A and B are shown apart, each in its own frame.
Chain A
Amino acid sequence: MSRIAVIGGGIIGVATAYELAKLGEEVVLFEKNYFGSGSTFRCATGIRAQFTDEANIKLMKHSVERWEKLEEELGADIGFNQTGYLFLATSEEEVEAFKANIKLQNRFGVPTRLIDMDEAKEIVPILNTEPFLAGAWNPKDAKANPFKTLFAYLRRARELGVDAREHTEVVGLEREGEAITAVKFRSNGKVESVKVDAVLNASNAWAPLINEMAGLKRDLVPIKAYKHQLVKTEPLERGQAEPLVCPPAWEDAYIIQDGEDGGIICGAGIEHEAKSLEDVEPTYDFLRGVLRYAVRIAPPLRYAHVVRQWAGFYAKTPDSNPAIGKLLDNFYIAAGFSGHGFMMAPAVAQAMAELISKGRSKVPLDWEWYDPYRFERGELRSSAFQIG
């Protein structure tokens, strides 16, 4: 048994801590604020296998299969529901692109199909069909509650012996040669140190700072924080817009009905590089911009009330694919999820835990595709489609 430190109490860190404990490892999990306080509790709840490249499709297919069994495995309600994703095309060229994506997804067993607007209207009763030509529909895509999911993982992790500490910030790493030997952390103003056999950097937007503590260049894995926002309406009758509905040509604008209270969550790819890692102030420009798209997607939303707006980070890499793998002999990273880390967590956590504990994994994760050293080598992947 080795002692493994996991830095970052978002969904990736918490789920990996759980998977490591399941493999019999001793785990200390550090979260500088409260669990979920980074991107995780600010996300739009969406889970999809509709990607446009082989690596992400395969990984997400596996992840969705894990999501399907997660409530049973963790013994808790996590609000998982396969309500689908519906992408909408506004031009003939887009319809052709959808067809190519669908073909690729079908090849790896993802059951996406092209549907006409009559069928789309049955699936999303409040949809404005007029601007759209066709939809790419995968009924197996899903949503889950990020609060319940994180706490379900955390509870099981603690039951398996994980020492999970919040309000505890990692402030330094001790390195000998190509290995990290100890983690320094601060809680209640006191700095302490713990000896470790391996370390996982799961701090997403903060990951470059942790890499620097490990003696690596800050921009070795060039993750930047972009402010993304969401707006939510008052609860509507269930079934009005259960899938995530997104016309990519409209700045990736989307709507999805909240699985808990039935409010409509409205998002869009209207983004700005964050001024700092504290910059989570919502903006009026976003509110107005996103709602203009939302009422074009679903006109009845015009008469709903907005009840909340919030902001968080997309921790973005230059190709919008995460960095997953090994940085030093015993120092690992899973970060830079670029807006789709919640959905990937069950698969990535399992893969990462197996890599750390056994040196290899049976999860269909293409390690080369996500290699954290690819940026330094100047290799970029085809850009992963970003939105929730």
Chain B
Amino acid sequence: MGGKKIVCRCNDVTVEDVERLIDSGVTDIEEIKRLLRVGMGPCQGRTCIPIVISILARKTGKRPEEIPLPKARVPIRPVRVEVIVGGADE
């Protein structure tokens, strides 16, 4: 074990990164998301956001249900550009 606990696999963010940011006074999940890019990877945060919420809850003494989920972005899953623009019609 390297001792480095990963929260967000898409963007390589660790538990320590999240804790350090919260300790510096940033406690809004929309801000944590943008500063560390947790939840901004191709998986749209399906894996990491719940972990961030539990860290945030522990650190701020809130219940996890009290922390709003960051706004999800469309598309829900990555789509190939050619599927959207159609065939060779240019």
Q: Which residues from chain A sit less than 8 Å from chain B, CB to CB?
A: 34-37, 41, 147-148, 151, 166, 233-234, 260-261, 282, 287-288, 291-292, 294-296, 301-310
Query: Which of B26, B85, B90 has the most chain A CB atoms closer than 10 A to its own CB?
Result: B85
Please report the C-alpha to C-alpha distance between residue A286 and residue B70 in the assembled complex, in whole angstroms.
23
Size of interface on B: residues with Cβ below 8 Å to A: 23
CB proximity to A under 8 Å, residues B19-73: 26, 28, 30-31, 34-35, 37, 40-42, 44, 73
Please judge, given known A-B contacts A41-B34, A296-B90, A305-B80, whether A310 and B85 are in contact too, CB under 8 Å: no
Please judge, given known A-B contacts A37-B30, A282-B74, A292-B90, whether A303 and B37 are in contact too, CB under 8 Å: no
Query: Which of B42, B78, B79, B84 has the most chain A CB atoms closer than 10 A to its own CB?
Result: B84
A-B contact pairs, 20 of them (CB 8 A): A34-B30, A151-B31, A166-B28, A233-B81, A282-B73, A291-B81, A291-B85, A294-B81, A295-B82, A295-B90, A305-B42, A305-B79, A305-B81, A306-B80, A306-B81, A306-B84, A307-B44, A307-B75, A308-B40, A309-B75
- Which A residues are CB-close (under 8 A) to B74? 282, 308-309
Which single residue of chain B is at the shortest CB-CB distance from A34? B28
- Which A residues are CB-close (under 8 A) to B90? 292, 295-296
> Nearest Cβ in chain B — how far from A39, in angstroms?
14
- Which A residues are CB-close (under 8 A) to B75? 306-309
Please report the C-alpha to C-alpha distance between residue A330 and residue B79 in the assembled complex, in whole angstroms.
52
Contact partner of A295 (CB less than 8 A), chosen from B44, B79, B81, is B81
